[in-house]
Structure 1
């Protein structure tokens, strides 16, 4: 009787892990993977700050001005747009406007990350300064809030330090390198940006917006002053939304919603 009762109790008992460390190891492994991926993104993208330093110095900016842009602006696409427009003889106001509109996307990243990271009031200024393409991608790719915070902190710290250090080195060594276009350094940051952006284009509307923006920028490049094609490319989003709205109303159904990364 006692043996039968023990056997029945064992069958009714919930399954237990084979070892005491089994429930701990996956969490530790996830954290290590998050740190590894964050460091990889931080170092890989941070090295392109060297290209910005060379481009800025070759475009007429001083070493102090180039370093101040990386320290205070800290968004590579906007920095390259500003320096490229100025180097091409563009109006400073137009160049600043193009850089501003490129940087506006970080505000939308911030709205999404505020619900994911939930930073304290003291940390919000620092978190806001580090909200860029790469840190947003790393944070939003994590399955939990703790890992999102870890990925954001590690990628943000690594990228900020590397970007500013390599900007300084690039600006100081610009004279010995020569024309950055001959080395392809002016395309380093846009290439990294496109590599990170492409996997995030899930819906048809997002892909159409990206393609139209590229076509508008390339078509206006030989016709308009430096910095203006970027402003024209920003019209791609409302055009695609307008076309999608008309198609939805014409079909008598709701407009297809754009997929958003979790």
Structure 2
């Protein structure tokens, strides 16, 4: 039954796509069958290694750096009201800048290699992690803070067992949001200046009017997003095992 729920909406959407494109004259909307027939010739093992793997590597590199920077800075700012007061105007200013706008600027300083693409991903992904971490740290139960103080729990032990553990649900929320942004920025950065990657390949197909092949790239990009979200969900279940158990016990579940 659960498997049926997973596949019901995708099957309905494919059916709508098929009905909208069958017998149509729109060159830019091929049928799902035409797209499916183009998958094999388009995405061979060599093509996957040349285009998909570099994209995934850039995405994971940018996402990892953004996660580390966002959590570290968020914890520091969340624990210090003075630091939060000094940094808030700058953070709000930088957060309001759309990351794609920075692509030409980053290209001037970092060139058009992987450094530029990873930098754009980092800049766009760091904000949800940073802001969610700040709010998560600020929301840590003050009573638990007093308990730590009474038992003289301080330093790394207090940071690990109280601050990071208490803020971890919101940190994971920020990371989940950052993952979706990372996929978008990976494609955008590769569309500007690249010689490989999913974004580059999709644009090349579009410029060459290889429309079914272009759609295969879009579908592959969506499947990549689903796979990464699924893997993230598994990791989230492990990291927040205590949190989900607490919620189940609060609802009276066994």
TM-score, normalised on structure 2? 0.30
TM-score, normalised on structure 1? 0.29
Q: Which has the higher contact order (CA 8 A, sep 6+)?
A: 1
Instruction: From the CA coordinates, give the structure whose radius of gyration is larger.
Output: 1
